[in-house]
Amino acid sequence: MNAKPATTLNHRIRSDIEGRIRSGEWPPGHRIPFEHELMTQYDCSRMTVNKVLTMLADAGMIERRRRAGSFVARPHPHIEQVALEIPDIPLEVAARGHVYSFQLLSKRRRKPRRQPNELEIAAAGTLLAMHSLHLADGRPFALEDRVINPEAVPEAVEMDFSQVAPGSWLLQHVPWTRALHRISAIGADELQAGLLQVAVGTACLVIDRQTWRGEQAVTSVRQVFLGDSYDLIARFAPGSR
């Protein structure tokens, strides 16, 4: 091989790869050429190639997978919610190139706890309660605790929510006329941390939301997102009140 300044080669290889990624020529999930292919293309050592790929991985531009090679990184399944809109988490996650999945941890009919939202949801005496986990690429993304008014949505009682996230199903089948959002921040407790696979005390964003159809309460949900997974966005126009 011809002797070439390592710094110049490193910069050239990195610039070439970054350029292909930023231009979209190599989209998320695209496999980067193997190390031996890059060695041949740039007439350089494996150490040079490995150093460039390590820098790109540290910058979050590529993912290195043992025995499989290097791939263009997919953007974090981060949700940006416009105020007053209700996001469909499966669609939001999939739109960012990730594989969405859902785990129903529990589903039961029960009496309400002494909380205003649950008492309103269970106007007829009972409510449908579900505890579940949203995942992106098989990794925990958000916890969800939801209660549904069985009088407002009787078909939900028999619905198999192990196959479809209840939030998505409700958005598709049950119209709502108004909603209330509450946003807060917490440190994950032991149970939440275990399910989200993070350390106890990890920063999380909590979204509490209740929806109504007319004057009838439909559902109330608490979603706990990892702190780097969610933004609430509000847009305003000049003169808006």
> 143-173: buried (b, 16+ CB within 10 Å) or exposed (e) per residue?
bbbbbbbbbbbeebeebebeeebbbbbbbee
Q: Averaged over 124-137, what is the pLDDT?
A: 94
Question: Does some domain include residue 1?
Answer: no
How far is CA 107 from each of CA 9, 98, 127, 159, 190, rounded to the nearest angstrom?
Answer: 58, 26, 11, 10, 22
What span, in angstroms and rounded, lies between the C-alpha atoms of 127 and 107?
Answer: 11
Is residue 68's pLDDT more than 60?
Answer: yes
pLDDT the model gives residue 48: 92
Tens digit of pLDDT for each residue in 139-195? 999 999 999 999 999 999 999 999 899 999 999 888 888 888 888 999 999 999 999
Domain of residue 132, CATH code: 3.40.1410.10
Is residue 241's pLDDT more than 60?
Answer: no
Tell the residue number behind the tokens 């979603």, with chain if given: 223
pLDDT the model gives residue 59: 75
Q: List the domain range (segments joined by +) for residue 227.
A: 79-233
List the one residue out of 191, 52, 210, 201 whose CA is nearest residue 133. 191
For residues 111 and 162, membership in a common domain is answered with yes
**Domain count of the fold of the chain:** 2
For residues 185 and 84, membership in a common domain is answered with yes
Tens digit of pLDDT for each residue in 95-119? 878 899 999 999 999 999 988 889 9
> Cβ(97)–Cβ(77) under 8 Å?
no
Question: Does some domain include residue 44?
Answer: yes
For residues 67 and 33, membership in a common domain is answered with yes
Q: Averaged over 73-86, what is the pLDDT?
A: 66
For residues 110 and 218, membership in a common domain is answered with yes
Please give the model's pTM, rounded to 2 decimal places: 0.66
Is residue 238's pLDDT more than 70?
Answer: no
